[in-house]
Homo-oligomer: A and B are copies of this chain.
Amino acid sequence: MQTRPTLAIIGGTGALGSGLAIRWAAAGFPVVLGSRSSDKAKEAALQIKAGNGAPAVRGEDNVTAAGVADIVIVAVPFSHHDATLDEIKSVVSGKIIVDAVVPLVPPKVSQVQLPPKGSAGQIAHERLGDVARVVSAFHNVGAAKLQNGGVIECDVLVCGNDKEARDAVIAITEAIGMRGIDAGPIANAAASEALTSILIGINRRYKVDCAGIQITGITANVAA
């Protein structure tokens, strides 16, 4: 893998996917937006280029995007989650898959409703873990904030059973100005996915638009 891995964002025309794409493109990563429609992906890539000078971003259908990338970020709605994983499975052998999907169940998106298997991350691990290295991340980052620019006050909890893959995802997280936290095995994805519903509710209850989380106590000295 080169210093700046090529990143595919499956669901790259959605709010979270395009927000991440804007940040990584601006940081100099080659980015390939994936969509079920390659035309939609190409159009979204042109828009990101227009807003950011001439970054290395292009659009493809999901399978082509996943096939050319080193790291594949999955940012589709939960209703498309399993089908999308099956669609890209044949082209992601040995790659890092970053599942950024939150199992929201409309209309009560501010209520935690985790799937019977525990989390979207766990489902991704069960579907792709035999061929790829599945990591879960980016659930708590506000899409609007990513798109609008500026500092993002949110840590990214990074879960997965492969430490090297977690570290790689922490590296691409920190490349766009957010702190990545090694949050342990893929089973722990349940926590960050569940937190998303809480943050959606906090946004409404506290009349803000970008509630996030930070882990405290990491840089503090260990008190005697």
Q: Which A residues fall within an 8 A CB radius of B?
A: 110-114, 118, 142, 148, 150, 153-154, 157, 181-185, 187-191, 194-195, 197-199, 201-202, 205-218, 220, 222-223
What's the nearest-Cβ distance from chain B to residue A128, in Å?
A: 20
Can you list 20 A-B pairs with a CB-CB distance of less than 8 A? A112-B118, A113-B187, A114-B118, A157-B198, A182-B202, A182-B205, A183-B198, A184-B197, A184-B205, A188-B197, A191-B195, A191-B198, A199-B215, A202-B218, A207-B222, A208-B218, A208-B222, A209-B217, A210-B223, A212-B216
Closest-CB distance, A130 to chain B (whole angstroms): 21
Give Cα A215 to B140, complex, Å.
Answer: 11
Contact residues in B for A111 (Cβ distance below 8 Å): 184-185, 187-188
| Shortest distance between the CB of A24 and any CB in chain B (Å) | 22
A207 to B223, CA, bound (A): 12
| B215 and A211 contact, CB distance less than 8 A | yes
Q: How far is the CB of A163 from chain B (nearest CB, A)?
A: 10
CB <8 Å contact, A110 and B184 = yes
Assess whether A215 is in contact with B202, with CB atoms less than 8 Å apart.
Answer: yes
B residues less than 8 Å from A218 (CB atoms): 202, 206, 208, 211
Q: Which B residue's beta carbon lies closest to that of A142?
A: B217
Among candidates B207, B209, B214, B223, residue contacting A148 with C-beta atoms closer than 8 Å: B223
